[in-house]
Structure 1
Amino acid sequence: MFGLDGGDQLTSNSYDQLKERWENLLTDEPKLRIRDAAEKLDVSELELLQTMQGKGVLLLDISPKQLASKLNGLGSVMSLVRNDACVHEVTGCYRSYEESPSPVGLFLGEQDIRAFFNKWKFIYSVTDNDRRSLQVFDEFGVAIIKVYAVEKTNLIDWHRLVEEYTGSDQSLLADLTPLSQRELPVINPDPDSKKLKESWDNLKDVHQFNGILRALKIPRNQAFSLVDDEYATQLDNECIEYVLSQASQANIPTIEFVQNAGVVQIHTAINTKLVRMGKWYNVLDPNFNLHLNTDLIAQTWAVKRPGDTGIVSSIEAFDQSGQLIIQIFGKRVEGQAEREDWSLLVNECMARRKFSETVERV
């Protein structure tokens, strides 16, 4: 990362140099987004954003839980959550926020979010011409969530929030951890496959699954490779597009989970407008946009987990480093069995893969 080798803080002169490099880059690529520019310049997005601090970019002196409690007063907003391969945008209100003593926040309703506040390190207000946003970053300067004002946003409360919590010292720069120190999934060289299978057999709730993986210290995609095909089948990576397309055509409501280190954002609906644009496969609906870079999908799995109401099926995609890109479930009603049309679609994907393997062997 620029100027941060060995944990050193960027100086004002370094930021001036970085700003000049960014301006030169924008001259050549005027439509380049800040995240992509940061990657090209080998810095974090937050380092690039801080070159404008005090000029449309304001550091807020507000805790994650304080911010969370204020979001329901802003009316309709667009929340953007992304990882390296997928962008997930939901427009709606933060109607319900459930706070707990733990560092986890739960939003239910139009904005359906699980927030891991211990990862929320820096919070900014960003004004770019008429576009306003609240942006949260982790210790590495990677964006966790961005909340944008839209036509129906309550701008009176928005401005009040920004004015109340604007930090008194806007020369203060974030002390970032080098991106190279981020933890990535590590394959377990000696996994307890027997215990994994026993635990999987005895699942009563899909929400128990992550705890099992943590206890056994097995990354998610490795766990899928260790169980029988009845529980997890690796698919062709094109199956993500096929599943989204077929679910849309059959009017099957789906749930798309997209996450990064600090948040999981969830959307449930029948997707209607699906469009391929180069390497991006997109859902472009009025209150939901999904942008999936299918070139970055390294593994795709069909997964089945038992529960107290029967099998719960999902399609899950991973990148080259083993990080989860997206999960897709069929819409479920708590306490009821999974929709049959969704189960059949996942079963079809699994059968297509097995048929393909049979043909390859012949």
Structure 2
Amino acid sequence: VYFEVRKYQEYGKLSGINLEELRKGARVEPGEGKKNPEDFALWKKAKPGEPKWSSPWGEGRPGWHIECSTMSTKYLGESFDIHGGGNDLIFPHHENEIAQTEACTGKEWVRYWLHTGFVMVKGEKMSKSLGNFVTIRELLQRYSAEVIRFFVLQKHYRSPLDYTEEGIQHAKNNLERLYNTLENIRIALEKAETPFKWGKEEFELYETIRDARRKFYDAMDDDFNTAEAMKPIFEVANAVNAYLTRVEKPKESVLRKALEFFRMISEVFGIFEDYFKEAKKTKEEELIKLLIEVRSALRKQKNFELADRIRSQLRELGIQLEDTPQGTIWKRIEL
């Protein structure tokens, strides 16, 4: 059973395909039963060894395109907001899905189409056939899910994503820069002043945070432009670090504004999630502070061997201790 494309007047509205160009040089193969070369299968006759179901046209199975239309309308309704897929599915698959579904229901099927670029390796599409692919499972053995997510977010979803180890390592380094900023804020809050009265430095930092929030939303409203949305995140990180370097006694209220910004980023991008889990963070911090107290006591007793062992083993767990004139501080250093 074929869908007669010529009877659907809007065919090509997604891909911009020209039917007349499509027909040039095309022909109907003997025995196909099509009226026109561009017609596509809705139901296929059963073949030996294939799954089959009964139908008014005999035993067979659904065509590739109709499967997707049927599943999506069953679970999402005759009209829904977002349909995604790779760029290679725009034509003919998604074009055919639109034609058959809207011809059936008489309604607009999908309001927004999101088509992703290919994952590339040295200029070629990553694929099993070329043997140049890496699975997510393999990547997760070397990097956290957060690092992989951050790597993907650095490119617009419609653009090709060039996979390299150097690229993922660069994403990891950039994410560590942001985590270092969060750690700097946490440490600064321990000695920050609570009065709300701000000086020039606080107002400058607040303006940067406010502008960055607007830039972030503008970028995300522009077709989910995550690559552009990354820029204001680093603007805030740089501004916070510069503020903490310049100011002897930072103000708690403006640092809380910076934390609110990073929490918003966390909720949208799915990064820093563990950092903002208060219960887990509190227990972890209490344990680290206890170990710092034990280490300080050991140093006073001149038991430097055991004190150094605590420091080195904490570092292996991703916690770095720094001895300062004001006391020992700690930072998370690994992802």
When you count helix as a share of all residues, which structure comes out higher? 2
More strand by share: 1
Query: Is the TM value for this pair above 0.5?
Result: no
Bigger relative CO (Cα 8 Å, ≥ 6 apart) = 1
Instruction: Please tell me the TM-score bracket, short chain as reference.
Output: under 0.3
TM-score (structure 2 length as normaliser): 0.23
Greater C-alpha radius of gyration: 2
TM-score normalised to the size of structure 1?
0.22
